[in-house]
Structure 1
Amino acid sequence: MGKDLVAAAFSPHDRVVFRRKVRRCLDVLADMLGTVPFQADGPTAGLEIEINLVDADAAPAMRNAEVLADLGDPRFQPELGRFNLELNVPPRPLSGDGLGEFEQDILGALLGATECAGKDECRLVLVGMLPTLTQDHVVLANLSDNERFRALDAEIAGARGDDFRIDIRGAERLITSSDTIAPEASCTSTQFHIQVAPDDFARYWNASQAIAGIQLALGANSPFLYGRRLWAETRIPFFEQATDARPDEFSAQGVRPRVWFGDRWIDSILDLYEENVRYFPPLLPELNEEDPVAVRDAGKIPHLYELRMHNGTVYRWNRPVYDVSGGRPHVRVENRVLPSGPTVADLVANAALYFGLVRRLAEDDPPIWSRLGFAAAEANFRAGARDGMEAFLTWPGVGEVPVSTLMLDVLLPHAYAGLDLLGVCPTQRDRFLGIIEGRCRTGRNGATWQTAAVRAAEERGLDRPAALREMTQRYLDHQQTNEPVHTWPC
């Protein structure tokens, strides 16, 4: 969720100055896009993976500080809850064996983390929402010891001025509330980053929005929360509700939520940053001494700290990122749609599908976003999250069809073509997209496996908590094999 804050208490003056600096940063970025060479050597990809810690009974283990201290690996960072970690996988080109190298890097990092976690009597699990979580686990006392997280909690809860109310209607219904954002720690995701030239950004972002519902339907892995079976990807509605900073009056007036799909296709990365300034008040007005105008005028590259800090508190499902590495600026799309897991192989298969599809669709003529209404893309997003492998999605030229039919008949060839354009090794291309095809032909992803395994346990006489514990233990065993979830026996 970002770097630590220097300070966690802000004055009204801080907020005024911060707003001014964000606007100044935005002006500088607009100027840079036309005058400064950005890194644009071909798409480079990166991954972030959020992880849960569990104890011997598959319940959440509040020990991330101890595990991180033992591990001493800068690739791992704490996440919101004390039972969460995040793994940042170093970026690389996708050409050649890039996808396979991602898989090996992740497996190697997780092996080291697993050994350290074992010393603290806990294990690592990659899953969208930990099935054994209860409301007693996601309380303020179980936030990680991090100033940023506590500042976010204070700011979002203060802006709302009321409890966060959750009402999710799925196969079952969950109604609950919280006075803290701590329940958001229930949501563990995988984030894909793709670095592109600034002139290409809008096409890649639009393509990412267009396929978000497809990603969710095929990659859903969060069917249970607090003992209830809800959506295939419950993480989506839960995250939206558990961090909604709007008072009810603002929501009724149509004020935009900070967890946001968006409401239009874009023409430039600036469209998104300008929306951030126009629609969202600062949450964490941390000021940096950098003067972006002076840095630019001196012929150097500004980091645009305030712009980046503000952007980090607007939780778009596809988010713009400006960054500087090696003294050169770059922009990238951060795809935040998918859950963690089920296995590393599944996770990299999801990445292959995403990178391949957006690469191909970004060049489509006429573009997909000229033929697919934005409202239809958002409806697909909701349907994919709610119904998973059983979702019916709308696509130009084919109408409303089952997601497996859409993938096998229309989009999988596009993904193959996109990976070819990226120079991905055919062996890696075929292996990872073959996993996606396997899900479509079997109708099984993480959500359907979890649901079937719990149903089978309940039919044998276990109550729901015992069935969830047993299923999570089996899930952990299967995860360690790295065999894709569509091959797991129920």
Structure 2
Amino acid sequence: MGQEVDRTTFSRHDRQQYRSNVQRCVDALTTMLRDHPFARDEPMTGIEVELNLVGDDLEPALVAKAVLDSLGSAEFQTELGRWNLELNLPPRPLPGEQWRHFEQQLLDELAMARAKAQDHRAQLAVIGILPTLAARHLVEEAISPDDRYLLLNEQMLSDRGEPIRLDITGGDPLASAPEHLLADFDSIAPEAACTSMQLHLQVAPEVFPAYWNAAQCLAGVQLAVGANSPFLLGSRLWAETRIPLFEQSCDVRPPELRNQGVRPRVWFGERWISSVLDLFAENSRYFPGLIPRTDDVDPIGELKAGRIPELSELKLHNGTVWRWNRPVYDIANGLPHVRLENRVLPAGPTAVDMVANALFFYGLLRVMVEAERPLWSYMSFDAAHENFVSAARNGMDATLYWPGTGWIQPDELVLRKLLPMAAEGLARWGVAAEVCDRYLPVVEQRCLTRRTGAAWQVAAVEALENRGATRTAALHGMFGEYLEHSAANEPVHSWPLPS
């Protein structure tokens, strides 16, 4: 949720007006999709990366505001935690060598952030969850002082009516006694522990449903090959612990509403869609306003006057429903557009790993959308969701269901079927062969070695513990080496274990 807010209290009338305005926005969007031209340029992509700042002790450094002031760059923004930054790189097309240049731009921006962080005695960490976090770090005082974050904290806790509870049991299938985390928090600061990479793809409205359905099918595979968050508050939990952590830290439902089946605000969804409107309408139908701020602009009136409506309330509301694949409405260069925002992947471990993850995803999307028989026409939505949860829990050790293949492990599925599909999809996008030759082998080697960021972190901690280190010391030792390897930009499958 990146929109500014200028209100801190809301009346019943505000909430009623907000609900009405959101529906007016949905009605206006319905008319626009039927009658108004949308952007149809070459495929535009974008990326956001959430980052962490740590001190010499490798624990969170609450200096994000100072680092941002030193950076003075529009590409960097605040995030929920005072130890978080967000990097937003400008949109770019997929074809040609664009994404080879993108890796260098990403490296340049990260290097600049590292340099400015050092001026404030901090280091930059590109990782899904800081392995050195402790409960004492996840307090209200650690939330960024921006009004929108403070208001979000207030409204979410008010709706929940009780502390935020984390209750996560480890997913290691070989563990005789999986580790278990149970903790309560009096703020939404645990949400700031989740740092992700978000991929955007602008598409024409009529093909958006196919892209969203395809992205849902791929979510489990993305997690299995990209997991990078195995530790939280000292416990080894899921391969991508960021998934249950984000779901639980943003859950405003008390137990009674969960038991009634009320939908969570962090949501995979429940069905395939046939229109982008399906998602915006569900958001309006199922979720009350968290921040019911309204403006005086009538979107239908704007349409009648020949202007493109901002749909401010729809965008604000959409930003407080955290789908793993989210629809986005926006205006650029005088034309409205819709885009897919893929929120599945963690940040890190390196720039080259993140670019490889992105291109693997974009390539697969293209082939799946253009298939004569779409995968989602013979794969149940429940199977896609089960793949997502299994991959988040077990990473490369997950067992996924894939139509026409049956039950299969992610590495075998990628090597046998998906990598050739991704290469074909990138070729259809017009991506240069040398770009494919640099990045797809990164995913291939990750599968051949079965070494994701999560797998490396777990193996490194186990190696240190086997030498007598405590869990806390092992996490710090592993993380110190992680930071060095991450900055060197060698793909994670090539990282050695602690010597």
- TM-score, normalisation: structure 2: 0.97
The residue number in structure 2 matching 1:364 is 371
What is the letter of the counterpart of residue 460 of structure 2? Answer: A
Matched, 1:477 2:484: yes
1:118 aligned residue: 118
Q: Is the counterpart of residue 253 in structure 1 residue 260 in structure 2? A: yes
Q: Which residue of 1 is the match for residue 282 of structure 2?
A: 275
Query: In the alignment, is the contact (CA less than 8 A) between 2:75 and 2:88 conserved in 1?
Result: yes
Say which of 235, 251, 257 aligns to 2:242: 235
Question: Deviations along 1:136-178, whole A, 9 cap, x unmatched?
Answer: 1110011001111111111111111111211111141111111
Q: Distance in 2 between matches of 1:161 and 1:51?
A: 30
- C-alpha distance in 2, partners of 1:82/1:67? 11
Separation of aligned partners in 2, 1:360 and 1:126: 30
Give SS of 1:236's match.
helix
Deviations 1:438-473 (A, max 9, x none): 000000000000000001111111111111111111
Output one character per residue of 1:87-132: Cα deviation in whole Å (capped at 9) or x when no partner: 0011110100121122111111111111111100001110000000
1:193 aligns with 2:188: no
Shift of 1:326: 1.5
Does the CA-based 8 Å contact 2:3-2:316 persist in structure 1? no
Per the alignment, residue 487 of structure 1 pairs with 494
CA–CA distance in structure 2, aligned partners of residues 173 and 217 of structure 1: 21
Structure 2 residue aligned with 1:417: 424
Q: Which string of whole-angstrom CA distances, capped at 9 and with x for unpartnered residues, describes residues 8-62 of structure 1?
A: 2211111111111100010000000011111112321000000000111211111
Displacement of 1:243: 1.2
Whole-angstrom distance in 2 between the partners of 1:10 and 1:420: 51
Write the distance in 2 (CA, Å) between the matches of 1:344 and 1:439: 15
Which 4+ runs in 1 deviate beyond 3 A? none
**Alignment match of 1:265 (pick from 259, 265, 272):** 272
Structure 2: state its 5+ residue gaps.
Answer: 171-177
Match of 2:410 among 403, 407, 410: 403
Match of residue 105 from structure 2: 105
> C-alpha displacement at 1:295, in angstroms?
1.1
SS in 1 for 2:331: strand
State the distance in 2 between where 1:40 and 1:383 align. Answer: 36
CA distance in 1, matches of 2:202, 2:45: 6
User: Offset of 1:290 from its aligned partner?
Assistant: 2.0
Please tell me whether the aligned partners of residues 138 and 185 of structure 2 are also in contact (alpha carbons under 8 angstroms): no
Q: Deviations over 1:312-361 (max 9, x none)?
A: 00000000000001211000000000000000000010001111111111
Distance 1:198 1:353 in 2: 23
Residue of 231, 244, 260 corresponding to 1:224 = 231
Q: Which has the higher mean CA deviation after the structures are superposed, 263-272 or 144-153?
A: 144-153
Matches within 5 A, 1:63-212: 63-170=63-170, 171-212=178-219
Alignment of 1:398-477 (within 5 A): 398-477=405-484
Q: Matches of residues 282-293 of structure 1 in structure 2 within 5 Å?
A: 282-293=289-300
**More deviation in 10-19 or 370-379?**
10-19
Q: Separation in 1 of the partners of 2:382 and 2:413?
A: 19
1:391 maps onto 2:406 in alignment: no
Q: C-alpha deviations, 1:408-441, integer Å up to 9, x for none? A: 1111111111101111111111211110000000
Identity %: 52
Give the AA of the match of 1:469: H
Distance in 2 of aligned mates of 1:282 and 1:454:
43
Is the 2:442–2:491 Cα contact (8 Å) retained in structure 1? yes
Report the 3-state secondary structure (helix = DSSP H, G, I; strand = E; otherwise coil) of the residue aligned with 2:370: coil
Q: For 1:389 and 1:133, locate their aligned partners in 2 and report how far apart those are by CA, in whole Å.
A: 25
Alpha-carbon offset, residue 289 of structure 1: 2.7
Q: TM-score, normalised by structure 1?
A: 0.99
Partner in structure 1 of residue 173 of structure 2:
none
Q: What letter corresponds to residue 371 of structure 1 in structure 2?
A: Y
Distance 2:43 2:385 in 1: 26
Letter in 2 for 1:92: R
Indicate the RMSD between aligned Cα atoms, in angstroms. Answer: 0.8
Residue 18 of structure 1: aligned partner: 18
What secondary structure does 1:324 align onto?
strand
CA–CA distance in structure 2, aligned partners of residues 141 and 277 of structure 1:
32
SS at match of 2:400: strand
SS in 2 for 1:362: helix
CA distance in 1, matches of 2:155, 2:370: 41
Specify the code of the residue in structure 2 equivalent to 1:249: E
Q: What CA distance in whole angstroms lies between the structure 2 residues aligned with 1:123 and 1:321?
A: 33
Q: Letter of the 1:416 partner, please give it.
A: A
Residue 280 of structure 2 aligns to a residue in which SS? helix
